[in-house]
Amino acid sequence: MSRVGIVGAGQLGRMMALAGYPLNIRCHFLDRSADAPAAQVAPILLGGLEDPAKLRQLAHGSDVLTFDWENVPAAALKKLRGQVTIRPSVRSLSVSQDRLLEKRLFSQLRIPVAPHAAINSLADLVRAGRELGPHGVLKTRRLGYDGKGQAVIRTVREQSPAWETLRGTPLIYERFMPFSHEVSLVAVRAPRGEIRFYPLTRNTHQGGILRLSIAPHIDPGLEGRARTYMRRVLKALGYVGVMAIEFFVVDGKLIANEMAPRVHNSGHWTIEGCPSSQFENHLRAICALPLGATHALGHAAMINFIGKMPDPKRLLQIEGLAFHDYGKQPRPARKLGHCTILSATAALRDRALKRALKQIQWA
Amino acid sequence: MSRVGIVGAGQLGRMMALAGYPLNIRCHFLDRSADAPAAQVAPILLGGLEDPAKLRQLAHGSDVLTFDWENVPAAALKKLRGQVTIRPSVRSLSVSQDRLLEKRLFSQLRIPVAPHAAINSLADLVRAGRELGPHGVLKTRRLGYDGKGQAVIRTVREQSPAWETLRGTPLIYERFMPFSHEVSLVAVRAPRGEIRFYPLTRNTHQGGILRLSIAPHIDPGLEGRARTYMRRVLKALGYVGVMAIEFFVVDGKLIANEMAPRVHNSGHWTIEGCPSSQFENHLRAICALPLGATHALGHAAMINFIGKMPDPKRLLQIEGLAFHDYGKQPRPARKLGHCTILSATAALRDRALKRALKQIQWA
Contact B40 A21 (CB under 8 A): yes
pLDDT given at position A144: 67
Q: Measured between CB atoms, does B18 come within 8 Å of chain A?
A: yes
CATH number of B2-86: 3.40.50.20
pLDDT in tens, A98-150: 999 999 999 999 999 999 999 999 999 999 999 999 999 999 998 766 667 88
pLDDT for the residue B168: 87
Q: Which of A18, A312, A320 sits opposite B21 (nearest CB)?
A: A18
**The pLDDT of residue A182 is above 90:** yes
Residues A269 and A356: their CA atoms lie apart, in Å, by 15
What's the confidence (pLDDT) of residue A147? 65
Give percent of chain B above pLDDT 70. 99
Report the pLDDT value the prediction gives residue A145, as an integer from 0 to 100: 65
Of A275, A320, A324, the CB nearest to B22: A324
For helices A99-108 and A220-237, angle between their N-to-C axes, nearest 10 degrees: 110
B147: pLDDT confidence band, cut at 50, 70 and 90?
A: low
Residues of chain A found within 8 Å of residue B312, distances taken between Cβ atoms: 23-24, 289
Count of Cβ atoms closer than 10 Å to residue B28 Cβ: 20
CB pair distance less than 8 Å for A322 and B24: no
- Nearest Cα of chain B lies from the Cα of A275 at a distance, in angstroms, of 6
Check whether B183 has a pLDDT greater than 80. Answer: yes
Chain B partners of A323 at a C-beta cutoff of 8 Å? 22-23
Average pLDDT score over residue span B291-315: 96
The domain segmentation of chain B, as residue ranges, is 2-86, 115-175, 181-358
Q: Are the beta carbons of B323 and A22 separated by less than 8 Å? A: yes
| Signed CA dihedral, A99, A104, A107, A111: sign only | negative
Nearest to B317 by CA among A296, A239, A284: A284
Q: Which of residues 322-351 of A touch B (CB under 8 A)?
A: 322-325, 327, 342
User: Chain B within 8 Å of A191 (Cβ-Cβ)?
Assistant: no
Euclidean distance between CA atoms B286 and A307, whole angstroms: 28
Backbone angles phi, psi at A13, to 5 degrees: -65, -40
Residue B10 φ then ψ, to 5°: -80, -165
Instruction: Write down the pLDDT at residue B70.
Output: 83
3-state secondary structure of B126: helix
Contact B41 A41 (CB under 8 A): yes
In chain B, whose CA is at the least distance from the CA of A328?
A: B24
Kindly provide the ipTM of the predicted complex, given to two decimals: 0.94
Residue A175 confidence (pLDDT):
95
The pLDDT value given to residue B144: 67
- Average pLDDT for residues B18-43, to the nearest whole number? 97
Non-local (6+) Cβ contacts of B229 within 8 A are: B106, B109, B111, B185, B245, B254, B256
Give CA–CA dist B58/B38, Å, rounded.
Answer: 15
Verify whether the Cβ–Cβ distance B322 to A276 is below 8 Å. yes
pLDDT for res B146: 65
Residue A300 Cα to chain centre, angstroms = 18
Q: What length does chain A have?
A: 363
pLDDT (mean) for A38-61? 96
State how far the Cα of A263 lies from the Cα of A335, in Å rounded to an integer: 15
Q: Provide the greatest CA pair distance for chain A.
A: 59
* A28 vs B: CB within 8 A: no
CB contact under 8 A, B275 and A342: yes
Q: What is the pLDDT of residue A232?
A: 98
Predicted confidence (pLDDT) per residue in A69-89, tens digit = 888 889 999 999 889 999 999
pLDDT, chain B, mean: 95
* CATH 3.30.1490.20 holds for A115-175: yes
pLDDT at B71: 84
Choose, out of A41, A44, A317, the residue to mutate when testing the contact with B (most B CBs < 10 Å).
A41
Say if the Cβ atoms of A24 and B327 lie within 8 Å.
yes
Contact between B69 and B111 (Cβ < 8 Å): no
Contacts of B289 in chain A (CB under 8 A): 312-313, 316
State whether B41 and A21 contact (CB < 8 Å): yes
* Residues in chain A within 8 Å Cβ distance of B1: 327
A319 touches chain B (CB under 8 A): yes
Q: Is the Cβ–Cβ distance between B349 and B301 less than 8 Å?
A: yes
**Interchain CB distance below 8 Å, B323 and A298:** no
Assess A275–B contact: CB distance below 8 Å, yes or no.
yes
User: Alpha carbon of B140 to those of B76, B143, B168, B248: distances in Å?
Assistant: 21, 7, 9, 19
- Percent of chain B at pLDDT above 90? 93
Full-model pTM: 0.95
Question: CA-to-CA distance for B276 and B294, rounded, in angstroms?
Answer: 6
Chain B residues within an 8 Å CB radius of A18: 18, 21-22
A18 touches chain B (CB under 8 A): yes
The rounded distance, in Å, linking the Cα atoms of A300 and A216 is 7
Cβ–Cβ contact B192 with A under 8 A: no
Q: Which residues of A touch B301 (CB under 8 A)?
A: none
* Cβ distance of B325 and A276 shorter than 8 Å: no
- What local confidence, expressed as pLDDT, does residue B148 receive? 75
B320 close to A (CB below 8 A)? yes
Q: Please write the tens of the pLDDT for every residue from A187-239.
A: 999 999 999 999 999 999 998 899 999 999 999 999 999 999 999 999 999 99
* The CATH number of domain A181-358, selected from 3.40.47.10, 3.30.470.20, 3.90.79.10, 3.20.20.140: 3.30.470.20
Cβ–Cβ contact A298 with B under 8 A: yes
